Amino acid sequence: MIIQTQDYTVFLGAIDIYLAPFLQRQQYSNIAILVDENTRQYCLPYLLEVVPSLKSAVILTITSGEQHKNIDTCAFLWQQLLEYQFDRRSLLLNLGGGVIGDMGGFVAATYKRGICFVQIPTTLLAQVDASIGGKLGIDLGGIKNSVGVFQNPQAVFIDPQFLQTLPARQLLNGFAEMVKHALIADADYWKKLQTVDISAPQSWQELIHTSLLIKKEVVEADPLEQGLRKILNFGHTIGHAIESYSLQYDSEPLLHGEAVALGMIAETRLSVQQGLLPESVGTQVCNYLQQQFPAYQIPNDAIATLTYYLQNDKKNSGQKIQSSLLQAIGNAVYDQTIGIDQIDFNRLTKASSVENYTLF
Ligand SMILES: NC(=O)c1ccc[n+]([C@@H]2O[C@H](COP(=O)([O-])OP(=O)(O)OC[C@H]3O[C@@H](n4cnc5c(N)ncnc54)[C@H](O)[C@@H]3O)[C@@H](O)[C@H]2O)c1
Ligand SMILES: [Zn+2]
C-alpha cells in the first residue's frame, strides 16, 4: 500500500518489496542504519535478510530509552558519521521506535546541514503517529522535544511484521493513538477498533492504514498547527500533565499512550460537562477506555503538581486550559477553554466495577 503525502511516500507492507528498489533508484554514497539494542536484536536481522544490499551498511547502535534522546547521543552520532566520512549524499536509515525516529531524523537533518534519512518505524506508536508530520527532535533538561526541527524524510517504510516482537504494553501504547484517531475523526473506525483484541495476533495493516490517512489529512489541512491540527491533541492536554507527573514521581512511569488514554477519559468527561457531547456517548467512550487501558491511581496530593504542569503548558494560561474536545464519536472541536478546577483527576482511576460506574 502506498500513501502519498505532499512531500514523501509512506510505503505500508512487506519492506523488501519497497525498500530494495528505492535504494537502487537513489544511489547513496554511504548508508548507515541507526538501531538501539532491541531493534538491533529483533528488527535488524529481518531487515538485512529481506534487503541483503544493506549488509554493507554501517550499523550505529545507541541505548534504548527516552532518557537517551538527548544532545549527548546526537553528538556521538554526528561524530560517528564524521568518522565514517559520510558526505552529503549519504543516507541514514532510522530503524526503531519514536526515539530512534525523532533523534535519528534530527541528527540527519543537521549533519552537514542535512543529509537524507528514511524512517522505518518498528513500534505501533511510531508507525501510526511519529511517521507522519515531520516533527524531529530531542529532549533538553527533562523537557520533552524542546529542541528540534520540522523536516520530512525521503520516505517512510512501515512493515507490520516488526510488531511481532513488540511487547504487549508497547502495542497498547500505540493503540491509544489509534483510538484517538477514531474518536476525533472516524466513527466507523471507532466501531472497528471495538472488535480488536489487542492480546490476540492481529492483522494490523488495515488499521494502521486508516490511522495514517486520518493523520495525513489533518496534518496536510493545517501543517503549522494553527487550527484543525490541534484536534490531534485530544487527550494530550491533560494526558501530558499526567505523563510529566508520572515521569517525575513514579519508579515505573506511565507510557505516553497510557497517559493519553487517561487524558482522553478526562477530556471526554469535560466534553460532556461543556454540553458538547451527550452523556450516554461519553459513558460509552470512558467505559471502553477504562476497560482497555491500565488504571492509574492519582494521589490526592498530586493535584497541585498536575495543576502546575497544566498551567505551565504553553497552550494554557492562568486557571484556564485550551483543549480539543469531542462533539460526537468521530468529531472533535479545538480551542475549547476550560477551567482547571473543572477537571476531576480523582475519577480517572478505574472503577471497581465498570457497570456500577456513573459518569457524573
Ligand atoms: N515525531 C512525532 O510526530 C512523534 C509522535 C509520537 C511520539 N514521538 C516520540 O516517540 C517517542 C516514543 O516512541 P516509542 O513509543 O516508539 O518508544 P521507543 O522508541 O522508546 O520504543 C519503545 C521500546 O520498544 C523497543 N522496540 C522498538 N521496536 C521494537 C520491536 N519491533 N520489537 C521489540 N522491541 C522494540 C525499543 O527499543 C524501546 O525499548 C517519544 O520520544 C515521543 O516524543 C514522536
Ligand atoms: Zn501522542
Q: Is 98 in contact with 70 (CB distance < 8 Å)?
A: no
What are the start and end residues of each CATH 1.20.1090.10 domain in the chain? 173-348
Cell digits of residue 326: 469531542
For residue 269, the CA-to-ligand 1 centroid distance in Å is: 29
Contact 182, 234 (CB under 8 A): no
Residue 337 DSSP SS3 = strand
Contacts of 341 (CB under 8 A, 6+ apart): 319
* Nearest ligand 1 atom to alpha carbon 144: 43
CATH fold for domain 2-165: Rossmann fold (3.40.50)
Give the tens place of pLDDT for each residue, 164-222: 999 999 999 999 999 999 999 999 999 999 999 988 888 999 999 999 999 999 999 99
What is the number of the ligand 1 atom nearest to the C-alpha of 163? 31
- CA gap 2, 4 in Å, rounded: 6
Dihedral (Cα; 336, 339, 345, 346), 10-degree rounding: -130
**pLDDT tens, 76-103?**
999 999 999 999 999 999 999 999 999 9
Identify the residue whose C-alpha is closest to ligand 1 atom 23: 97
Treating both helix axes as pointing N-terminal to C-terminal, what angle do 168-185 and 187-194 enclose, rounded to 10 degrees?
A: 150
Looking at all shown ligands, the one closest to residue 259's CA atom is 2
Q: Which residues contact 83 (CB under 8 A, 6 or more apart)?
A: none
Ligand 2 centroid–CA 257 distance in Å is 6
Measured in residues, the chain has a length of: 360
pLDDT in tens, the chain (360 residues): 999 998 999 999 999 999 999 999 998 999 999 999 999 999 999 999 999 999 999 999 999 999 999 999 999 999 999 999 999 999 999 999 999 999 999 999 999 999 999 999 999 999 999 999 889 999 988 778 889 999 999 999 999 999 999 999 999 999 999 999 999 999 999 999 999 998 888 899 999 999 999 999 999 999 888 999 999 999 999 999 999 899 889 999 999 999 999 999 999 999 999 999 999 999 999 999 999 998 888 888 888 889 888 888 777 777 888 999 999 999 999 999 998 888 877 766 544 333 332 322
- The confidence score (pLDDT) of residue 244 equals 87
In the prediction, which pLDDT does 355 show?
A: 34
Distance CA 74, CA 22 (A): 27
Give pLDDT, residue 349.
57
Distance CA 173, CA 125 (A): 6
Ligand 2 centroid distance, CA of 256 (Å)? 6
Q: Using the mean position of ligand 2's atoms as its centre, give its distance from the Cα of residue 259 in Å.
A: 9
Q: Which residues, in sequence order, are CB contacts of 251 under 8 Å at separation 6+?
A: none
Q: What angle do CA 232, 255, 169 make, to 5 degrees?
A: 110
Measured from the alpha carbon of residue 180, the closest ligand is 2
For residue 104, what is its C-alpha cell? 535519528
Q: How far is the CA of 133 from the centre of ligand 2 (A)?
A: 12
Residue whose Cα lies nearest atom 37 of ligand 1: it is 38
Q: Which of 253, 228, 121, 244 is nearest to 174 (CA)?
A: 121
- Global pTM reads 0.93
CA of 355 relative to ligand 1 center, distance in Å: 35
DSSP codes, 155-182 = EEEE-GGGGGGS-HHHHHHHHHHHHHHH
Q: Which CATH number fits domain 173-348: 2.40.50.100, 1.10.540.10, 3.40.1280.10, 1.20.1090.10?
A: 1.20.1090.10
- Who lines ligand 1 at CB under 6 A? 36, 38-39, 42-43, 64, 66, 69, 96-100, 102, 122-123, 125-126, 129-130, 133, 135, 144-145, 162, 165-166, 170, 173
Name the residue of 99, 158, 162, 215 to mutate for ligand 1: max ligand atoms within 8 A of Cβ: 99
Q: State the distance from the centre of ligand 2 to the C-alpha of 211, rounded, in angstroms.
A: 13
DSSP per residue, 1-37: -EEE-SS-EEEES-HHHHHHHHHHHH--S-EEEEEEH
Q: Where in the chain is the domain with CATH 3.40.50.1970?
A: 2-165
Residue nearest to atom 4 of ligand 1 (CA): 130
Residue type, 249: Y
Nearest CA to ligand 1 atom 3: 130
The residue whose grid cell reads 486550559 is 321
Please return the burial class of 50, using the count of CB atoms within 10 Å of its CB with bins 0-12, 13-18 and 19+.
middle
CA distance 246 to 68: 18
d(CA 66, CA 318): 30
Strands 155-158 and 9-12, how do they pair?
Answer: parallel
Going by alpha carbons, the residue nearest to atom 30 of ligand 1 is 166
Q: What is the pLDDT of residue 350?
A: 46
SS3 state at 138: strand
